[in-house]
Structure 1
Amino acid sequence: MTTQILPTTSPDAPSSVSDEDRDATQNDLSYHRVALTHARPRWWRPLLTVVFSGVAYAVLVFATGILTMIVIYFVPYLEPAMTVWAETDTFDLDTPLGLVLGCGMLALMIPAVAIGLRLAEKQSLGRLSSVAGHLRGALLVPMLGLAALVFTPYVAIDALVQWHQGSLDISITNRALLMITLALLVVPFQAAAEEYVFRGLPQQVLGAWLKSPWWGILIPIPFFVLGHTYDLYGQVNIGVFALAMGILVWRTGGLEAAIALHVVNNLVVLIGDVIGFSHATTHEVSVAAFWFSNGIIIAFTALAITYHHRVTHRGRGSEVTPCV
């Protein structure tokens, strides 16, 4: 792929070209170099984006904590979830409030990054979403379907093993339905937030200074791994996931595929936990689960890149080769 840098063009600047023409132009850019399309690129702008995003996140978390304390004052029933958070610095994802707060606190990274981009670079969050300047729904939807498809064999085999061992005990109660509903509402934002912060932001910040995309792919991996508390197998699995998602963002030119797998993975784990199929809060990963999970990650990455390449190639071909 040939990288083209257009330092005199701003995605937010008024232009006489159509949205389709602008999308086609930006699709010729490497994702990690898109920051250089700023009308007046400066080396310090990406660094300032990180600083402003961090400050904005701290303010949002503080404000959310105060608001939650006020709510708990009037609804004492909710207090245990905050007590667990204060004592362990984590939320109990097995409770409705713990799930909402745990995912919600992470989801706050999305507006925080949006604020950082706007203040430091006068850019919208769309710049991090993809080379098209927005989250591409036409790619996100099939990627969600693909992620669900590659997870199906794993879930089916796990269910068969548990059934054979006599340990399969699925129970769908009213509480489980509430938890599933909440998970469907908050998990997509939590997963997307992590992709914006650990994949999108590092690649474009480092890509503003360095030509190779590997800096933005590899450097965030240790930080992402440290954000999870698993045993050795689990941490290695998280590292593989982070590496694959970084490659996906670079090769597909956006966050859609990475968000799709992250969302489906987290939903499968959380929903499996609330119906008794799996245990989301466990910190131990078996050898079998380790290889199955890595297989899913590798399979999805290969299929997603192949799909994106075929769709992109077919789309460009239709633009330059008219039907006769």
Structure 2
Amino acid sequence: MLGAELKQNIKQAIESFSKENLTEKSLNLFQVLGYKTKRQFHLSNPTFSEFKECYIESPSAFNEKKALVSEWNYVDLLFQLSEEEIHNQLSFFSTEKVDNTIIESYLFFVIGLTKPQYTRTELSQITREVNKLFKMPAMLLFKYGNNLTLSIIDRRLNEKDESKDVLKKVTLIKDIDINKPHRGHIEILFDLSFDELLRIHNFTNFVDLHNAWKKTLDTKELNKKFYKELSNWYFWAMDNVSFPDDIEKSKNIRNATSLIRLITRIIFIWFIKEKDLIPENLFDCKELGRILKEFLKNRKSKSYYMAILQNLF
């Protein structure tokens, strides 16, 4: 499947969460991302009480208060991803100890929450508490309000007791808008798709797969990718732009200075847009075509710059 087609399918899968049946929509999203398995063990009743009966033994390290279970309005086990399923896609895939870590399978859960918004700390706490219950990592997909969050936890073997794991950092893809998915979120989910991870990281076991997830979601890696793309665009633009020579006569100096100024202004405008400090319709072509007479009629029109950008700059 081509990248553009997969990204469109990811977008549609996210938007489908506006409808009911969290289990069905969640399974569809992961299938679109390439994680396919028949090991599905759904709860007969997708409630915390059923989850507790099935998975929480007494006594247990699971802390209901930290897990905010009073705010769970839905929970289900989606599927287990094991060596057998991945081996069907990759004949050379194996389970083994790598870097003091053994991962032989993954569990995927979906949890619906009652409030419209949750902090990173709250979602991380829930992730930690759920992962205390299982010997294999559990990836959680949260649904609250109009948002989704995908949660992944890092874990390693306990150095004193290899039958136990030490839970480490929780990484979140947070607040994916189901009504209007952000392109950045779609790009990240695309990068997490099975085939894309395999293409880039060439993993051969669950530990490698887990590390590929971690690296893809690592803030430093995302920043590095952003600046690399920005740099590539800058050098491409330098060969394709022209600016008036009324002040600076040197073409190279003029273009470089003006282009950097343009980039910083665009980044600033995007920032205030993402913070909802300016109306969304200022970036909607159809709406702009309605309020600016020349916007859609004349490609050389300066109306958008004069009416919108100049004021924001």
What's the TM-score once normalised by structure 1's chain length? 0.27
Write 1 or 2 for the structure with the bigger share of strand.
2
Q: Which has the larger radius of gyration?
A: 2
Write 1 or 2 for the structure with the bigger share of helix.
1
- Asked which structure has the greater RCO (Cα within 8 Å, sep 6+), the reply is 1
